[in-house]
Structure 1
Amino acid sequence: MTQRPALFSFLLGGIAAVGFAPLGWWPVTLGCLAAWMLLVHQAPTRKAALGRGWLFGFAHFAIGNNWIAKAFSYQDAMPHALGSVAPALLSLYLALFPMAAATVAWKLRRPVLDASYVLIFAAAWIATEYLRGTLLSGYPWNPLSEIWLPTPFAPLMAFIGTYAMSGIAILAAGALAGSWAKWWRLPAAVAMIGIAGFSSLTYNWYHPGGTRNAPRIRVVQPNAADEQRPRDDYAETNLQALVRLSGKPGPAPRLIVWPEGALRYLPESGYPPQYYAETPGTVRRRIATVLGPNDVVLTGGNALKFDAAGTVSTATNSIFAIDATARILGRYDKAHLVPFGEYLPARPLLSAIGLSRLVPGEFDFAPGHGPDGLDLPAFGRVGFQLCYEIIFSGEVVQSGHRPAFLFQPSNDSWYGYWGQAEHLAQARMRAIEEGLPVIRATPTGISAIIDAQGRIVASIPADTAGAIERPIPPAARPTLFARMGNAMAVLIGIILALAAFALRRLAR
């Protein structure tokens, strides 16, 4: 392995991606990380450490983001051939963050791999992964902590959150890397068993209450792919499918949830007539026909904004709440927009060289005001996270307005299967962190009802039309992470760094 360290770093990074959904082979990821940490420690120069860190990250993110290639087939104004290289192009940037963590650990290493090296590596990984999730609008897709979802360690996210749990993964890998040193074996085993036991106890203690007499949630998945959007009858056929799958009223109030962009007709009144393919009042009344007196529909759709001349200047990617009287009870506008999907960075430059957004549209979307929600009769406060917004740890709940659950409509049809499974996994992580159920509705899958512990109560597979209806899972008490947010990542990172330097002083 040490004869070709650059090549092995590259291979280890690519193989490490199998720990994420849909495969979930987390022991493989830990083994790859352990071997890579050894390679970084053995690097003879800073340049070698930089290279081993960057090559690992490049392969790791290129494999984990392979689903992005499919997105380029949905917009004729964007070169389709670019999809074959897009994951690699993105990874040129993303690889800088593992490279930085590796370089910090190498710079502060000692001649023999010891506990202080692992602790510093873990602290540096926490810091760099947090930066990856915040710099340049952030891209925290597939945090390393996602590998813990199939394990008893997952409930620890309720205490320390996603980024700190990624540091725990580095600690676990470091324990493997140091297992050849005799003194590592007993402390590493005791630490891992202790953490697993604590997690299991937490899992049982954290169980929320029962669901008796709870209002019901009905998730609708019409299996309408994005390719249908250019068809003239898309808006009508999709609305018919959504209404047909919405079921019939029952004795309990129902919250019926439709996917992102489900409603292709404009539901709001007040626009110039030429913008309507169907009158908004008629659209809302058609929706209301499937509602009982206490039922509400939450649907994705668009709202238009006009300039002083009365022409459309921009639009919002929105969620509308519509009741049984065909009234709009409220609207949420997506705040964290997707670069290249909902807006084009440096539009004049990129448009001039023939690049457009990944999804059809003549102008960029306008952002909303951040995480928000609506108070709905019979259902309490519903928090909203529209599609991509759910991946941002610590940014999904409005401060001081904790909802009963989070609704995440999404359009994952252009993600590819790996992307759909990875998106679902990250929604489960937000549920654990916040102690809140998450309800996902997508047009082609994977739609799901997730409880406050991140467990999937019910789901609809990808590429399947259907609906699921269950009592709304109850929220748990606010978790430590819900109270502290990513201050926990900062705290854990500082503790790890201080522990590393304390061990060094003791060794002297």
Structure 2
Amino acid sequence: MIARHPYAISLFAGGLSATGFAPLNLWPLTILMLALWMALVMQAQSRKAAFFTGWLFGVGHFIIGLNWIAKAFTFQAAMPEWLGYIAVVLLSLYLAVYPALAALAAYWLGRNRPAVFILAMAGLWIITEWLRSWVFSGFIWNPLGSVALPLGQMAGASIFVGSYGLSAILIAGAGGLWLLCLKKWRAALPLLLIFAGLSLLPQPRPGEISADQPQITVVQPNIGQQDKWKAGYEEQNLAKLAELTLREDDDPRIIFWPEAAIPDYLETGYPARYYYGRPPEFVRQQLGMLMKPGDVLVLGALKLEFDAAEGRAVGARNSVFAMDSGHQLIGRYDKSHLVPYGEYLPMRPLLSAIGLSRLAPGDFDFWPGPGARSLDLGALGKAGLQVCYEIIFSGQVVDRDNRPDFIFNPSNDAWFGSWGPPQHLAQARLRAIEEGLPVIRSTPTGISAVIDADGAIRASVPMGQAGRIDSRLPQAKAPTLFARHGNLLPLGLALILLLSSIAIRVRAR
């Protein structure tokens, strides 16, 4: 049956499909809309129509799912929010190309063969999400697999196939529903049984955290973006952090502060004019007064890079420093996956000339670090570091040659409106499951959380509140299959699905 107005329906279905992501978590709507979309693609009268149907679905999907980006523009050089919505639409027009390509290729492989089409679509969705994670530096926010977090044991399958493979399971489940509507029982039943089996099995109950694990304190000061860099607020903001950090007992602990927690520079060696009268020795002494012997403070701060000949700063790094109770820096991590147009401006001379330097204000850009690495915190273990949205990149968050005991994800979600922080938290939970490692999140305004290696939230501080979490660090698991092999697993699954679809097509001929 040919639907009237398929393009409008596809756009609408794409928008509704995004309601399955946090904070709404309306996952049944996502499954229904995916099934409807696949039916629309299959009924297309040409490859061009199939591509356009896929593209419009993606436009609706990303506009709704990424609406929080508009809020970020209100903090970026005080730009109006309407300009942010233009950016959301433009970004969505680009990102929609990926589901469009999946739709086109699945249509070509599975024309008039629904089972072939579904297998091909599931495999192609894996490939297009993986491409979205690295093409043009990558932006894989809200992989479809994150919809599975409320669905029983389904998210646990990511230890075998990663979050991209999890997305394929959702596509297959939606495809089974579509086949059921077509009364193709034999083809629908295996897909629906797999989907129902994974979603109906209860999630494992979190076990007790060993008393031998290090103590931790996670601080959320509730410092809004409008106050973060305001002149004269340095001492007030530090006082909020200090008040939430001080404690009575003397047991060594790891203290976690958010991304860019302080505006001061912690490293020595810069020209004096860059310290604004607050030399690093003084700043570190201030921070050390909040610590007890054996403590380690892990916090976000900036590092400058200098032109040695001219003695001037030419770049910066968004860094995380570890400092011991003797005021000594014992490690540093530099953010690797930077945000284009936020932390650096591509083609800065050209774009500055046409007035776009406001997107990444300043005289120079942030420089990327070398990638995932682990910091040795001595008796308190090893920390893997991923700053802010770096945590969304499946398979790229851990140094596999020096596996940490946990991942620390300092972030500044104050930019992200009301939808961004819960979506960010959901993706951090997926990384915990995939890698078998606990994830600790500290943000200025929420959501800060302690996530165990099964992806369960053990403790959290809600958005818009000041607070702290005192806990033991959850235990790491043995390296999962995904932790050992990374995205080779979902890409291998994609290959199997595509070869199976081709084999069925050939056999049918």
TM above 0.5? yes
Gaps of 5+ in 2: none
> Distance between the aligned counterparts of 1:22 and 1:79, measured in 2?
24
User: Which residue pairs with 2:161 in the alignment?
Assistant: 160
Structure 1 position 272 matched with structure 2 position 271: yes
- The residue identity in structure 1 corresponding to 2:49 is A
Deviation at 1:62, TM superposition (A): 0.8
Deviations 1:358-385 (A, max 9, x none): 4643320011110012111222110000
Summarize the alignment of residues 124-139 of structure 1 with structure 2, pairs less than 5 Å apart.
124-139=124-139
Q: Is the 8 A contact 1:341 1:357 kept in 2?
A: no
Question: What is the rounded CA distance, in whole Å, between the counterparts of 1:178 and 1:463 in structure 2?
Answer: 45
Which moved further from structure 2: 229-238 or 101-110?
Answer: 229-238
1-side partners of 2:401 and 2:199: how far apart? 28
Paired position in structure 2 for 1:245: 244
Kindly state the Cα deviation for residue 237 of structure 1 after the two structures are TM-superposed. 1.4
Q: CA deviation at 1:174?
A: 0.5
In structure 1, the gaps of 5 or more residues are none
CA contact (8 A) 2:116 2:504 kept: yes
Contact 1:217–1:254 (CA under 8 A) maintained in structure 2: yes
Corresponding residue of 1:109 = 110
Q: Distance in 1 between matches of 2:59 and 2:504?
A: 32
Distance 2:362 2:221 in 1: 23
Q: Secondary structure at the match of 1:256?
A: strand
Secondary structure of the 1:316 match is strand
Shift of 1:453: 0.8
Shift of 1:191: 4.3
Secondary structure of 1:245's partner? Answer: helix
The one-letter code matched in structure 1 to 2:232 is D
Query: How far apart, in 1, do the equivalents of 2:389 and 2:359 lie?
Result: 14
Q: How many residues align?
A: 505
RMSD: 1.9
Whole-Å separation in 2 of the counterparts to 1:445 and 1:210: 24
What is residue 362 of structure 1 aligned with on the other side?
363
Alignment of 1:221-300 (within 5 A): 221-248=220-247, 250-277=249-276, 278-300=278-300
* Stretch of structure 1 that moved more, 6-15 or 209-218: 209-218
Contact 2:209 2:472 in 1 (8 A): no
TM-score by length of 2: 0.95
Judge conservation of contact 1:105–1:120 (CA < 8 Å) in 2.
yes
CA contact (8 A) 1:155 1:202 kept: no
Counterpart contact for 1:20–1:26, Cα < 8 Å: yes
Report what 2:333 is aligned to: 332
- Structure-2 separation of matches of 1:189 and 1:469: 47
Query: Is 1:123 paired with 2:123?
Result: yes
Which residue number corresponds to residue 65 of structure 1?
66
Give the letter aligned to residue 9 of structure 1.
S
Q: Amino acid of the residue matched to residue 232 of structure 1?
A: A
| 8 A Cα contact 1:447 1:459, kept in partner | yes
Check the 8 A contact 1:320/1:331 in 2, yes or no. Answer: yes
Counterpart code for 2:266? P
Cα displacement string for residues 454-494 of structure 1 (whole angstroms, at most 9, x for unaligned residues): 11111111111111111000001111100110001111001
SS at match of 1:50: helix
For normalisation by structure 1, the TM-score amounts to: 0.95
2:436 match: 435
Letter matched to residue 420 of structure 1: P
Q: Is the 8 A contact 1:118 1:174 kept in 2?
A: yes
Separation in 2, partners of 1:35, 1:194: 20
CA distance in 2, matches of 1:238, 1:378: 30
For 1:391, the equivalent position in structure 2 comes to 392
Matched, 1:458 2:459: yes
Other-structure match for 2:44: 43
Q: Percent identity?
A: 50
Tell me how far 1:88 sits from its aligned partner: 0.2
Aligned pairs for 1:277-426 within 5 A = 277=276, 278-307=278-307, 308-358=309-359, 360-426=361-427
Maintained 8 Å contact 2:255/2:297: yes
Preserved CA contact (<8 Å) 1:220 1:468: yes
Indicate how the Cα distance of structure 1 residues 77 and 228 shifts in structure 2: closer, same or farther if over 3 A, else same.
closer
Give the deviation of 1:121 after TM superposition.
1.0
Contact 1:381 1:404 in 2 (8 A): yes
Distance 1:423 1:484 in 2: 24
CA distance in 2, matches of 1:441, 1:294: 21
Q: Shift of residue 202 of structure 1?
A: 10
For residue 144 of structure 1, what is the amino acid of its counterpart? L
> Which range moves more in the overlay, 329-338 or 228-237?
228-237
User: Is contact 2:344–2:360 with CA below 8 Å preserved after alignment?
Assistant: no
Please say if residues 176 and 191 of structure 2, whose CA atoms lie closer than 8 Å, have aligned partners that are also in contact: no
- The amino acid across from 1:347 in the alignment is R
1: CA distance, partners of 2:355 / 2:80:
8
- 1:171 counterpart residue number: 172
**After alignment, is 348-357 or 422-431 more displaced?**
348-357
Q: Does 1:219 align with 2:198?
A: no
- The separation in 2 between residues aligned to 1:12 and 1:20, in whole angstroms, is 14
Aligned-residue offset at 1:507: 3.1
For residues 78 and 311 of structure 1, the distance between their equivalents in structure 2, rounded to whole angstroms, comes to 29
* SS of alignment partner, residue 118 of structure 2: helix
Following superposition, the deviation at residue 134 of structure 1 comes to: 1.1
Query: Take 1:279 and 1:13, find their aligned partners in 2: how far apart are those partners?
Result: 53
Flag the 1:45–1:80 CA change in 2: closer, same or farther, 3 A.
same
* Conserved 8 A contact 1:393-1:430: yes
C-alpha offsets along residues 339-359 of structure 1, whole Å, 9 cap, x if unaligned?
111001111121111112546
Measured in 2, the distance between the counterparts of 1:482 and 1:231 equals 42
CA apart distance, 1:2:
0.5
Contact map agreement 1:225 1:443 (CA 8 A) in 2: yes
